[in-house]
Amino acid sequence: MEYNWSNMTAERDKEQTMIIAEFAIFPTSEGASVSRFVKEAIRVIEDSGLKSVTGGMSTAIEAPDLESLFRVIGQADEALVKMGAKRIHVDLRIDHRLDKKATIESKLKAVGKS
């Protein structure tokens, strides 16, 4: 089944919606050290133009819509495949806020960590 994320989000007011995702991707088939794969996934995310903040275990990504988010996730996955990964683990958590614009920074500020 193929989804058309553009049509699903076209009716929403772009000023009032924001997706904040926590994303981690790494191969489980390439031994104990996978940092070269993680570095490449981070490069893909940073090159996407979406705002991101990388931590020790995952990267937070701000996206205006699901289409943009899933595009960069697909690109990160494809990069690991091209590097030879045989099995890839993906963790993804999404906060899709529709009532007001939210950012990584606003979430941190709300808990006193900005």
Residue type, 34: V
Contact 69, 26 (CB under 8 A): no
| pTM as predicted | 0.82
Residue 11 has pLDDT above 70, yes or no: no
Strand ranges in 1-114 using DSSP code E only, listed in sequence order: 18-27, 52-54, 59-63, 88-97
pLDDT of residue 2: 57
pLDDT in tens, 86-103: 999 999 999 998 888 889
Is the per-residue pLDDT at 112 higher than 50? Answer: yes
Residue pair 53/112 in contact by the 8 Å Cβ criterion: no
pLDDT of residue 6 exceeding 90 = no
Higher model confidence: residue 97 or residue 11?
A: 97
Alpha-carbon distance 44 to 48, whole Å?
6
For the cut 50, the answer to whether the pLDDT of residue 13 exceeds it is: no
Two structure tokens written together for 80: 């690991």
Instruction: Give the whole-angstrom CA distance, residue 91 versus residue 68.
Output: 17
pLDDT of residue 7: 53
Which domains can be identified in the chain, with CATH numbers? Answer: 14-110 (3.30.70.930)
